[in-house]
Amino acid sequence: MRRIGIRTTSLHQDALGALSTAGELGYDGIEVVVRDNEEIRRWQTRDGAAEILAAIEKTGCLVSSLSCVSYRAVNFGLPDLASRCAGEGYVADCLHACLTLGGTAILLPHFDWVNLDIPSEQEHWYIESLERCAPIAEETGVKIAIETSFTTSQLKRIIDSVGSPFVGSYHDFANTLRLPDGPVAGLRTLGKGVVRIHLKDASAEGKNVPLGTGLVDWIACRAAIDDVGYDDWFVLETPPGENPVEEARKNLAFSRAWLA
C-alpha cells in the first residue's frame, strides 16, 4: 500500500508534536529521527512507548519508520570488531523499538561523498553484520533500510549477498543525483532491493529544496517506481523552511498529485 509520511525534522518537531501535526495535515505517518539511544531502549517496551502509542491512536497517524542516527558511530564498515558488534546490538535494539511503535523499517545512514564506495574488506564486514541482523529483522517484521553514498553496484552486491527481503536500500531521489547512475537508473537496477523511498529534491548547488523545484526528474522517477513494483511508504525529507507546517502542506499536495 502506497502511503505518504514525513520526517520529524521536516516539521521541526519531536515525535509527539509531529504525530499531531502530520495527522492534521493528512499524512499517513511520520519517520522519527532519533538521536537519543535512551529513547531506543525505552521504546522497546509498550510501557516505555505508551505516550507515542497513545498519540498514534488519537491522531490516526502512524510511525512509519525510525531514522537511527547513532548508527554512524557503530556502522558495519568499521575496522574495529567490537564497534561492529556494538552496531549489531544497536540495530537489534532499533528493530525491536520500531516494532513496538508499529513501524516497519529502520534507516541506517552511511555517507562518504568523497570516496562513495567502501573498500572490499569493509564491504565483507558489512555483509557479515547484516547477515547476523537479518533474522532479527525477519522475526520482527521490520526492514533494515540502509541509506548510503555507495554506488548502485556496491549496494546491490551487499543486498544480494545478504539475500533477505528484509534488508535493502533506502532510496533517496536527491541523494542519488550525486551518484553515477542517478535516481532513475539506480532504482531500476536495485528493483526489489529498494525497501523504502525518501521524497526529496535538490538544487544544482546540492541544497535541499521543496519538491518539484529542483533537479529530480519526477516523471521518470514515477515511471521507474511503477516498473519495479514499489508499493510501500514514501517519506518526505523536505526542508522545514520558515513555516514548516505550510511547507509540509505544499509538499504533501505535490506528493499526492505525483502519485495519483
**Calpha distance 120→73 (Å, rounded):** 20
User: Chain-wide mean pLDDT for the chain?
Assistant: 97
- Which triple of cell numbers denotes residue 38? 535512551
- Asked whether 216 and 174 are in contact (CB, 8 A), the reply is yes
**Range 173-201 average pLDDT:** 97
CA-to-CA dists, residue 153 to 7, 44, 158, 189, 227, angstroms? 28, 35, 9, 8, 19
Q: Which residue has the cell 558488534?
A: 85
Residue 113's pLDDT is 96
**Range 58-62 average pLDDT:** 97
Pairing of strands 201-202, 143-148: unpaired
In the chain the domains, ranked by start, together with CATH numbers, are: 3-259 (3.20.20.150)
Q: How confident is the model at residue 163 (pLDDT cuts 50, 70, 90)?
A: very high
Crossing angle between the packed helical segments 50-59 and 15-25, to the nearest 10 degrees = 10
Residue 1's pLDDT is 86
Q: Give per-residue pLDDT as tens, 193-208.
A: 999 999 999 999 999 9
**Range 15-39 average pLDDT:** 97
- Which triple of cell numbers denotes residue 3? 502511503
**Range 49-68 average pLDDT:** 98
Residue 53's pLDDT is 98
**Range 167-196 average pLDDT:** 97
Residue 25's pLDDT is 98
Per-position b or e across 222-235, b if 16+ CB within 10 A of its CB? eebbeebebebbbb
Phi-psi region of 194 (alpha: psi -120 to 50; beta: other; left: phi over 0): beta
**Range 134-142 average pLDDT:** 98
**Calpha distance 150→166 (Å, rounded):** 19
